[in-house]
């Protein structure tokens, strides 16, 4: 059994959010949901609705993927350290990624040793 890395864990959670982004809308603002009996089907057909929630969720996924990539692990003097926090941090996952992963700390795959 291989141990899931923080990168794999966060990547998997972001994939889930991306795949479900169409399902989250602001019911007070969303025109896509007004006249449809099947709200989920309507949202799938019109992910670019005017409430902006699906679009925002996708931007958040994109931003977090960039943060993840920015803080990728590198070998330095025999240790695995953060590419961007090198100097400020002597370990990987760095604090930035620990905070990012902690968003899903209630997930069964989350490893408390990360943070």
Q: What is the 8-class DSSP label of residue 2?
A: P
Closest contact distance (angstroms) between CB of 106 and Zn ion is 23
Among 10, 14, 51, 61, binds Zn ion (CB under 5 A): 51
Query: How many whole angstroms separate alpha carbon 14 and alpha carbon 19?
Result: 9
Single out the segment in contact with Zn ion by CB under 5 A; choices: 9-17, 59-67, 71-79, 103-111. 71-79
Query: How many whole angstroms separate alpha carbon 73 and alpha carbon 79?
Result: 10
- Is residue 84 a contact residue for Zn ion (CB under 5 A)? yes
- Is residue 96 a contact residue for Zn ion (CB under 5 A)? yes
Closest by CA position to 113, among listed 90, 84, 105 = 105
- Is residue 94 a contact residue for Zn ion (CB under 5 A)? yes
């Amino acid at each position: 059994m291989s141990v899931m890395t923080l990168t794999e864990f966060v990547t998997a959670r972001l994939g889930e959010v991306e795949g479900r982004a169409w399902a989250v809308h602001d019911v007070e603002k969303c025109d896509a949901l007004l006249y449809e009996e099947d709200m989920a089907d309507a949202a799938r057909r019109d992910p670019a609705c005017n409430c902006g929630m699906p679009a925002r969720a996708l931007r958040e996924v994109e931003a977090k993927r960039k943060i993840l990539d920015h803080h990728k692990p590198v070998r330095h003097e025999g240790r695995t350290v953060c590419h961007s926090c090198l100097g400020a941090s002597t370990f990987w996952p760095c604090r930035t990624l620990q905070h990012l992963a902690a968003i899903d700390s209630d997930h069964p795959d989350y490893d408390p040793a990360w943070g």
